[in-house]
Amino acid sequence: MWLSYLLVAGLFCSMGGSIFIPQKLFGEVTSPLYPKPYPNNFERTTVITVPQGYRVKLVFWQFNLEPSEGCFYDYVKISADKKNLGRFCGQLGSPLGNPPGKKEFMSRGNKMLLTFHTDFSNEENGTIMFYRGFLAYYQAVDLDECASQPNSVEEDPQPWCQHLCHNYIGGYFCSCHPGYKLQTDGHSCQAECSSELYTEPSGYISSLEYPKPYPPDLRCNYSIRVERGLTLHLKFLEPFEIDDHQQVHCPYDQLQVYANGKNIGEFCGTQRPPDLDSSSNAVDLLFFTDESGDSRGWKLHYTTEIIKCPQPKALDEFTIIQDLQPQYQFRDYFIATCKQGYQLMEGNKMLLSFTAVCQDDGTWHRAMPRCKIKDCGQPRSLPNGDFKYTTTKGVNTYQASIQYYCHEPYYKMLTRAESSESARGKYTCTAQGIWKNGQEGEKIPRCLPVCGKPVNPVEQTQRIIGGQRAQLGNFPWQAFTNIHGRGGGALLGDRWILTAAHTLYPKEHDSPNNATVDVFLGHTSVEEIMKLGNHPIRRVSIHPDYRQDESNNFEGDIALLELENSVALGPNLLPICLPDNETFYDNGLMGYVSGFGITAERIASNLRFVRLPVARREACENWLRGLKRKDVFSQSMFCAGDPSLKQDSCQGDSGGVFAVRDPNSDRWVATGIVSWGIGCSRGYGFYTKLLNYVDWIKKEMEEEG
Ligand SMILES: *[C@@H]1O[C@H](CO)[C@@H](O)[C@H](O)[C@H]1NC(C)=O
Ligand SMILES: *[C@@H]1O[C@H](CO)[C@@H](O)[C@H](O)[C@H]1NC(C)=O
Ligand SMILES: *[C@@H]1O[C@H](CO)[C@@H](O)[C@H](O)[C@H]1NC(C)=O
Ligand SMILES: *[C@@H]1O[C@H](CO)[C@@H](O)[C@H](O)[C@H]1NC(C)=O
Ligand SMILES: [Ca+2]
Ligand SMILES: [Ca+2]
Ligand SMILES: [Ca+2]
């Protein structure tokens, strides 16, 4: 303890020394040996330093120095920033001294110097006095650099901020106004506005220094970028002033506005630009200035709004936009349809439906469709008939109308009981683009052959022995067959030939049944009928009751030949009707048998016919019995003829029909098929009774639709 006291005392006795207190945020400074009396002949300067950015604050807590006039003997001198802050001595209440009291000493910088000086003695009126010296506390306090006035330029090393100063404890920093950039010295600001970005949904943008003149040589780019789906509106404020020229458009300074990269305006002068709707979420404002001028610049307020799409407009009067809204914005959509009878088209593509959505760039995601009138296409052609337009000829679009008809008188339209041919034949092009009939829908009508209506019916009044040449059209159903020899047949409908089974499968015929079947139709002359061509057969149908091996039994002697192709009916080619009543077999009823068979021992070259009465069954049975014949004469046969007359059907007439005119309906009906007889032109002939086979015939004919 003693040792350290001496050491310290010895150290302090050196005159004129300096002591540096290491940088601390606070500390104390005392006179030597404090609180013991300080030594004489002493001088020392204590350098108090605090970290940069701080200043030193010093306050005395104890002060007791020898007082003297002007603090000439002992004193404490404080200086900072090369300035003397005062010289102090004495103590509180001493009349000669200048004690510091509670005064706070502040440095401007981070350094304060405290010099303690004593003279050779401490005495008064010859008495030695003891003074305790001083105790001072110091602390680092923040230097508010921003508050420091730049007028004490002389020695203040602190550079000051050109635009904005921000103080913090232990330091400060500078910043610049928008559009300016802090230079590397950390204090000065220079105009720099080449990439200013604004992302708030609304805000203000102005030229530098507005409304004071803007700086020269600017290359500013103010970019506003807001969310997609928003659109930016710009509103310029007063005053608006950019260097201008009377004749040339903005030669000096220009404010250019770009929306989505497209220039939407270039402005200068004193006329405030109109409010701009950029229709975009990205706007760039480019402001270029030259080296001179003193215009005050510009300021604008920008706002955002949800982007709108243009009002959808129909491209034609047939397009309907559903629930049309007064306005459409981002994410809204509309649906377009067509009026009845029209088809949505996108280019050449047919659409079932159409929806367009408003996109974030204010456009519709697909272009407006068109509506094209529905086209039903060419109406289907009607076999054995035709159609005519009841609306404009050849126009097959919506609401067009046609009338189908059958080729009369040979064909007649199939109708339901309550329906007329004109109602059945009327078709309209519907809104669905399909030809439709009111009752039957899409199915087109059918033209059915008209049976038993020869255009040129035979007019037989006289009895002519040996038959007679038929005129064209007398027996238009007459078929000429060549199978195992000549035969006949009759046309049913437009594709069936009714004939006798034995013309295909002759009795007592051993050869295999592979004979070719030739069928000719449409003429009375053998030569001519063959020129008209053979009608190929698709199918042969023999009645199951027919027995080829029973030579005396012609039961079931009936066959149907289905033609490969239906024939076109005409005056010389018409079908015959089938019987529907037992009255067609009344005794004495006159019928006609026609054929290309042998007459007068010669092969006929022309169709001939005979007129015969239906005979009484008993008469024929007796006649057969008289001839001692065992031939079967069943209930599905009838006989006709008159032994007193020398005319009958004969070979070659086989398969032809016994035709009767029905006076009630004025139609010709086939009541029988020439089946068998005994010799030619002798007595009675025997016929397959068709009334018994009508059901079978209809069933066979139905099988092929
Ligand atoms: C010294 O003398 C002066 C004047 O003679 C007197 O006022 C003062 O009180 C004296 N001081 C002391 C400590 O005696
Ligand atoms: C302005 O800034 C925007 C955003 O950075 C940029 O896309 C555009 O190209 C700039 N315009 C010019 C002229 O430099
Ligand atoms: C029928 O068949 C027989 C034996 O197979 C043959 O000799 C004859 O030429 C055939 N006739 C026809 C017309 O094909
Ligand atoms: C057959 O014809 C007679 C006389 O024309 C008629 O009275 C009768 O009703 C007809 N029968 C049938 C089933 O058509
Ligand atoms: Ca002294
Ligand atoms: Ca500070
Ligand atoms: Ca200028």
pLDDT of res. 284: 96
Please name the residue that has the structure tokens 């105790």. Answer: 135
pLDDT of res. 318: 95
Residue located nearest, by CA, to atom 10 of ligand 1: 125
**Domain presence at residue 380:** no
pLDDT of res. 6: 36
Domain co-membership, 209 together with 355: no
pLDDT tens profile 142-172: 988 888 655 544 445 555 788 899 988 888 8
Helix (H) or strand (E) holding 225: strand 219-225
Of 306, 341, 364, which residue is a domain's last? 306
Atom of ligand 3 lying closest to residue 516 CA: 13
Strands 196-198 and 219-225: parallel
CATH code of the domain containing 677: 2.40.10.10
Domain co-membership, 575 together with 438: no
- The ligand minimizing its distance to the Cα of 166 is 6
- Ranges of the chain whose pLDDT falls below 50: 1-14, 152-155, 462-464, 705
Domain co-membership, 201 together with 103: no
| Angle at CA of residue 533, ends 531 and 535, nearest 5° | 155
Residue located nearest, by CA, to atom 5 of ligand 3: 512
Whole domain around residue 137: which residue ranges?
Answer: 26-123+130-142
**Domain presence at residue 169:** no
pLDDT of res. 24: 86
Ligand 6 being an ion, which residues bring their Cβ within 5 A of it? 142-143, 167, 172
Residue located nearest, by CA, to atom 11 of ligand 2: 221
Domain co-membership, 294 together with 436: no
pLDDT of res. 170: 83
pLDDT of res. 159: 59
Domain co-membership, 301 together with 200: yes
Strand boundaries in 517-581, DSSP class E? 518-521, 537-542, 559-563
| Ligand 4 proximity of 583 Cβ (cutoff 6 Å) | yes
Task: Calculate how far, in angstroms, residue 514's C-alpha sits from the geometric centre of ligand 3.
Answer: 6
CATH code of the domain containing 137: 2.60.120.290
Atom of ligand 1 lying closest to residue 129 CA: 13
Domain co-membership, 567 together with 694: yes
State yes or no: 518 annotated in a binding site.
no
Tell me how far apart the alpha carbons of residues 562 and 142 are, in angstroms, rounded to a whole number.
Answer: 123
| Full-model pTM | 0.58
pLDDT of res. 307: 87
pLDDT of res. 683: 80
Query: In testing the pocket of ligand 3, which one of 484, 513, 514, 518 has its CB within 8 Å of the most ligand atoms?
Result: 514
**Domain presence at residue 455:** no
| Ligand 2 proximity of 196 Cβ (cutoff 6 Å) | no
CATH code of the domain containing 332: 2.10.70.10
Task: Calculate how far, in angstroms, residue 556's C-alpha sits from the geometric centre of ligand 4.
Answer: 25
Nearest to 303 by CA among 236, 235, 362, 227: 235
Helix (H) or strand (E) holding 698: helix 694-703
Q: Above pLDDT 90, what percent of the chain?
A: 70
Tell me how far apart the alpha carbons of residues 320 and 338 are, in angstroms, rounded to a whole number.
Answer: 5
Task: Calculate how far, in angstroms, residue 222's C-alpha sits from the geometric centre of ligand 2.
Answer: 8
Annotated catalytic sites, by residue? 502, 557, 654
**Domain presence at residue 163:** no
**Domain presence at residue 476:** yes
| Ligand 2 proximity of 450 Cβ (cutoff 6 Å) | no
Tell me how far apart the alpha carbons of residues 76 and 98 are, in angstroms, rounded to a whole number.
Answer: 10
Count of domains in the chain? 5
| Angle at CA of residue 262, ends 259 and 264, nearest 5° | 70
Residue located nearest, by CA, to atom 6 of ligand 1: 125
Domain co-membership, 60 together with 78: yes
Backbone angles phi, psi at 423, to 5 degrees: -70, -40
469: helix, coil or strand?
strand
Residues in contact with ligand 1 (CB, 6 Å cut-off): 124-125, 127
